[in-house]
Amino acid sequence: MHSLAGQVFLLQLAVVMLLVAATLVALVVQARSDVMADARQRTLTTAQTFANSPGTVAALNSANPSAVLQPYAEAARKAAGVDAIIVYGLNGLTLTHSDPHQIGKHVIGPYAKAATGKPFTSTFKGSLGLSVISAVPVRGPDGSVVAIVSVPVTVETVQHRVNRQLPVLFGGAAAALVVAAGGSGLVSRRLRRQTHGLGAIEMTRMYEHHDAVLHAVREGVLIVGGDGRLLLANDEARRLLDLPADADGRHITELRLEDDLARLLASDLPATDEVHLAGDRLLAVNKRLTAPHGPVGSVVTLRDTTELRALSGRAEVARERLTLLYDAGLRIGTTLDVKRTAEELAEVAVPRFADIVTVELLEPVLRGEETPGATAVTELRRSAVAGLDADDPLPHVGELIRFVPAHPVAVAMTEGRPVLIEDLSGSDGWRAQHPEHAGRILDHGVHSLLVVPLRARGVVLGVVDFRRARGSPPFEEEDASLAEELAARAAVCIDNARRYTREHAMAVTLQHSLLPRGLPEQSALDVAYRYLPAQAGVGGDWFDVIPLSGTRVALVVGDVVGHGLHAAATMGRLRTAVHNFAVLDMPVEELLGRLDELVAQIDAEEAPTAEHGQGMITGATCQYAVYDPTSGQLVLATAGHPGPAVVRPDGAVDFPQLPVSPPLGLGAGLPVETVELTVPAGSRLVLYTDGLIEDRTRDLDAGLQALRDALTGADRTPEDTCTAVMQVMLSDRPRDDIALLVARTCRLGPAQMAEWDVPRDPAAVAPVRTACARRLTEWGLEQVSFTAELILSELITNAIRYGTEPIAVRLLRTVPISGPAAGTLIFEVSDGSSTSPRLRRAKVTDEGGRGLFLVAQLAERWGTRYTPTGKVIWAEQSLRHGAPPDTEGLGEILLGQWDDTAL
């Protein structure tokens, strides 16, 4: 309704409604007036007719006038359609009435005028209510008034007659309104088509600005009719075509235009950016036909392209350069490899910018090292070539080139700016590098050179050489800016790759220094391992094999989330912590609990120093297992790490169910649950990180099933097992580090162990010592008997003096699985006390306190570990080369405990 047609429709409809309403009111008023007049006329006529009836006077003179006149009055009332015919005597008594109860009653009313002989009509409220009443006198034979006849018609009856006419009036008004609305709608519809639905303001604005816009536009506009006559031309069109002042209305062929342009304008063919000559101008002509959306004809726009033609060449060159820069942004730097980035720079510039492109880089850049501060270094290694034929005389990739100071490459490196040589044949500095090769290069058609230094963060990394050969124009100054932009983008990518190479090398070096460099000597497990870093960079996976006291061995596998130096450094800290905790002979659950506290402490320390105020949470998982070859018992626990696999001697594979524990740092002080398994000798324990079983090409269940299939099989060495698993599980480009540890279990037989229970009596030391010497003789170790008896005596004496019962002694002889060592002799003395002995230097006046000192001097290692019922003091004596320990200086050591002056 905002359009002009809608507003006109509303206005017409409103006017019609007002007219219909006024007419309807007038008709209702007129109908009421006509009905009232009819009522007055009818009552007066009826009253006169009844009063002048011949029998009326005779009935009045009869004995009972009411009985005679009442039937006649009712009949006359019904015939006349009035409400009553009332006859009154001069005395005011009612003789006839439509209501019989009113007969004989006095009537009150304005009937004095009728009594005088003058009839009248008026409106009066009588016994029938508000009525129109006509009163006529009845005259006797002598002309005197003998009675009065009154005929009333109630206003209600009059209104009822009017109401019967109202439906007809309203129906006629509605029909008139519908017809008028329809006519207004038709008019508005046509008006809307004519005005295209525009509003009044829009039409006003359109017509106000029509001429201004039409004549101010910088393109020529022509409107040509279907008969080829010019209907409209703006000022620009008149200027471009040099039209006469009276051109409007004339045929196109009469306007003295060029023949081809006139034929196009007069035809019914469309055109898009067709170039035509108009005088000394080149016009781009666009023509569109107005049919079928308008009257037959066409609209033509004219654009002067004389200057644009001169700029189109440069615009096309600029477009190609922008496209080249866009492609360079997509294609350069797709990898973090320095040489590959240099190759991408050369490939993107050939052949769209140059025919031959070479990239020379400094040696430190290729190694990922920092470049020298001075830019006068002119010894570069060619790293990438594009567009070079096999027979071209230019040095190929990998060659080290030492440029003379006058060479354009040396100048670019020294001054840090592009060097442009339009004609190589006239460049003495370029020829001075290698005159013979220079001639061959010119013979191959290379004629122009542009050298641009590769600068990033204010440091020159190398240069890129753009060459053009025959068939290509020489380089210009404008080409230098494009080459600088290409070189700048490539230099940033090369610098990023260099820094990544350096960081990756540092991380690899750090990781290699933190990971185990070899497997320790031990007699409980035959171990093999594999470690494979991810393609994305160095990660935080680690593994360890840690010998413990009593021939026990700890197996550790862990994973620090993420890659890079932070993950490698965190891995080193956790691995060192595990070593330290393991040396203390901590139970499995306590060790993981301490490790969880350590990771939480690391997170707390790093939170305030993290970038942007956000702490870097150290995500790490760990699995720790301790195997005891004397009992075949395996105690293990895990903190968010995948559980191990156990391969039975028959080749069956089991995945033991472990209690679920959160990753390290998230335990929040919760206790760690452990699992104890009895593993048969010859079983293989397989510990691994999640990178082995998780991959984007398979889910976790599929990875575990593949691992089960790879492990299934008997009579495999740990080394063969590692090889088979890596062949099956390894993907082409692993996204995460992979650590695999396979350990085959061994058991100490009864012949390698000796145990004795010792009562808490000093006299019991000698029998145990004798039994020990006898067992050493059975083992063929008589040469170490003296030292062994001395160590064992001191340990038993210490337990008897300071410990509590029960006291037991265990002697173990171990033989390493591999290596030249002859094994180890282990002494273990257990008691029920939890008091830990400590090594100290006895005072001069002390009678004791030198036993542990002797043990420490004679044994290779010694220590204490706690058990649920007490403690075990242990000592190890190496049997390397089968020679007894050096005891020659033992006397001097013992005598050195006393001061000669004190003695």
Q: Is 468 helix (H, G, I), strand (E, B) or coil?
A: strand
Residue 674 half-sphere exposure toward CB, CA atoms < 13 A:
16
Q: Which pLDDT score, from 0 to 100, does residue 205 have?
A: 67
- pLDDT for the residue numbered 578: 93
**What is the pLDDT averaged over residues 134-157?**
80
How many Cα atoms sit within 13 Å of 579 on the Cβ side?
14
What spatial distance separates the first Cα and last Cα of the chain, rounded to whole Å? Answer: 128
Q: What is the DSSP secondary-structure string of 397-452?
A: TT-EEE--TTSHHHHHHHH-S-EEES-GGG-HHHHHH-HHHHHHHHHTT--EEEEE
Q: What is the phi-psi region of residue 128: left when phi exceeds 0, alpha when psi lies from -120 to 50, beta otherwise?
A: alpha
Residue owning tokens 């019904």: 78
d(CA 627, CA 743): 10
Element (H, E) at 605: helix 588-606
Give tens-digit pLDDT for 771-800: 998 988 888 888 888 888 888 888 888 888
What is the residue-averaged pLDDT of the chain? 81
pLDDT value at 375 more than 60:
no
The 220-225 sheet, strands edge to edge = 230-233, 220-225, 297-304, 281-289, 271-278
> What is the pLDDT, as a whole number, of residue 313?
60
Q: How far is CA 492 from CA 323, 360, 602, in A?
A: 20, 15, 35
One DSSP character per residue, 122-148 reads: EEEEETTEEEEEEEEEEE-TTS-EEEE
Q: Reply yes or no on whether the pLDDT at 250 is more than 70.
A: yes
Q: How far is CA 532 from the centre of its chain?
A: 32
Buried b / exposed e along 141-157 (16+ C-beta atoms within 10 A): eeeebbbbbbbbbbbeb
Q: State the Cα–Cα distance between residues 719 and 723, nearest whole angstrom.
A: 6
How far, CA to CA in Å, does 226 sit from each of 251, 290, 295?
11, 10, 8
- Cross-strand bridge partners of residue 278: 281
Residue 633's pLDDT is 94
Please, which residues have CB within 8 angstroms of residue 737's CB and are 6 or more apart in sequence? 531, 532, 533, 534, 538, 539, 540, 541, 559, 689, 691
Give residue-wise pLDDT tens across range 483-522: 999 999 999 998 888 887 777 777 666 666 667 777 888 8
Q: What residue has token string 């036993």?
A: 851
Name which of 321-335, 606-620, 683-697, 884-898 the model is least confident about: 884-898
Residue 449 has pLDDT above 70, yes or no: yes
Highest mean pLDDT among 195-199, 818-822, 868-872: 868-872
Maximum mean pLDDT: which of 321-325, 388-392, 577-581, 834-838: 577-581
Q: How many CB atoms lie within 10 A of CB 227?
A: 11
More confident residue, 742 or 399: 742
pLDDT at 883: 47
| Residues 338 and 503: beta-carbon distance below 8 Å | no
**pLDDT exceeds 80 at position 572:** yes
Whether residue 677 is predicted with pLDDT greater than 90 in this model: the reply is: yes
Residue 697 is classified by DSSP as T
Q: pLDDT tens across 51-102, in order?
A: 788 878 777 778 788 887 878 888 887 887 787 888 888 777 888 887 787 7
What are phi and psi for residue 841, nearest 5 degrees? -95, 120
Give alpha helix (H) positions in 282-373. 306-331, 338-349, 363-367
Does residue 14 sit in helix, strand or coil? helix
Closest CA to 462 of 347, 358, 352, 385: 358
Contact between 741 and 522 under an 8 Å Cβ cutoff? The reply is no
Residue 195 pLDDT more than 70? no
Mean pLDDT of 264-285: 83
Question: How do residues 653-670 score in pLDDT, each as one tens digit?
Answer: 999 988 878 888 886 678
Give the best-scoring range by mean pLDDT among 54-68, 133-147, 303-317, 328-342: 328-342
- Identify residue 876 by its one-letter amino acid code: E
Distance, CA of 416 to CA of 481 (rounded, Å): 14
Q: H or E stretch including 646? A: strand 645-647
pLDDT exceeds cutoff 70 at 373: no
pLDDT of amino acid 563: 73
Out of 92-96, 118-122, 379-383, 538-542, the most confident range is 379-383
Q: Which residues contact 481 (CB under 8 A, 6 or more apart)?
A: none
Reduced DSSP (H G I as helix, E B as strand, rest coil) percent helix, strand, coil of the chain, to 5: 45, 25, 30
Out of 289-293, 529-533, 650-654, the most confident range is 650-654
